[in-house]
Amino acid sequence: MRAIKSWWLLVAFLSGFTLAMMAEELVLNWRNDHLEFSAPRVHFLRGQPLELLHNAAPVPFNFQVTIWSGTHNHVFEQLHDRFVVSYDLWEERFKVVKTQSPRRVAEHLTADKAEAWCWEQMSLASDTTGLGGSEPFWTAFEIRAEDGKGGPLFGRSITDSGISLTSLIELFSRPPGAQQSHWGPYEAGPYTLDELKKSPHRGL
């Protein structure tokens, strides 16, 4: 009896470990007629960017989400935005400014909440009008922090050029810098809207 229990415990652990390893970086939900993005396993407020933030340096993060439909060659939608994150030395909380129109600000956030808020803003920008319910689509995302020596923190004001949509698109057309923190691109699919509407939590 004891031997069987141990065996099942081992299987359960290995299954859980395997499932965890297979878990997706980007989780898609369908909520309020919108695609809702989240990435609970991707933490960009860590490592070098967090070190800079704790040293009172504001750090811009550039987001890019791409959706392909029909065939993998057709870009259905591409979303870009820049979030400037700063860390309040006295309150020990984060402030995030979404710099693309519509400009939005969130303050007094923990690190997890700040990350989630950025994904929420990306979700709000998404528009699936024109995408058929049964039409297959793929998605990918990439995040880049401007924390390298060539970034806007060092010598230039964070309000300098580089905030426009055109420059964001151009930025993602180049590979990230050697000292630049970046996450992705993570890519998965194909999935359909009908499938997502039936299953409220679907990872890609």
Partner 1 sequence: MKTPWVSSGNRARSALAGLVAILMTLATPLAGCGLPDDDERAARELDVNSRYTVESVQVSGERNVTISDPLRLELDKVVGAKFDHSALERLADRLRNELRVSDVKVNVTRGTEPDHVIVNFEVKSREQKFDLNVAKFLYDSKEGWSGDGNATTHLKGNLITFGLVSDGDSLVERFAGIRAKFERKKVGTDRLGFRFEFDSYHDMWNQATLEQAQPGDIYRSRQVFTPEATLVIVEPLEWSFGVSFARLRVPYSSSDTEGGGAAAAKTESSNAVVNTLRYHQRWGSAHDPQEQEVTAVYSAEAATDLLGTDRVFTRHLADARYRFRHDRNSVEVRFMAGLLNGAAPIYERFVLGDSTTLRGWNRFDLDPLGGSHVIYGSVDYRYRMFQIFYDTGAIWDRVQDREQKQSVGVGFRKDLTEKESFQLAVAFPMRAGHVDPIMYAGMSF
Residues contributing to the site for partner 1 (CB under 8 A): 55-58, 84, 86-90, 94-95, 97, 99, 105, 107, 153-160
CB contact burial 161-173 (16+ within 10 A = b; e otherwise): ebbeeeebeebbe
Find the shortest distance in angstroms from Cβ 161 to partner 1. Answer: 11
Rg of the chain's alpha carbons, rounded to an integer? 19
Nearer to partner 1, 47 or 70 (CB): 47
Find the shortest distance in angstroms from Cβ 102 to partner 1. Answer: 14
Nearer to partner 1, 26 or 45 (CB): 45
Nearer to partner 1, 28 or 109 (CB): 109
* Helices and strands, counts by H and E, the chain: 5, 9
What is the phi/psi pair of residue 10, to 5°? -65, -45
Q: Which residue has the tokens 């039936």?
A: 198
Tokens of 144: 């880049």
Find the shortest distance in angstroms from Cβ 158 to partner 1. Answer: 6
Find the shortest distance in angstroms from Cβ 94 to partner 1. Answer: 8
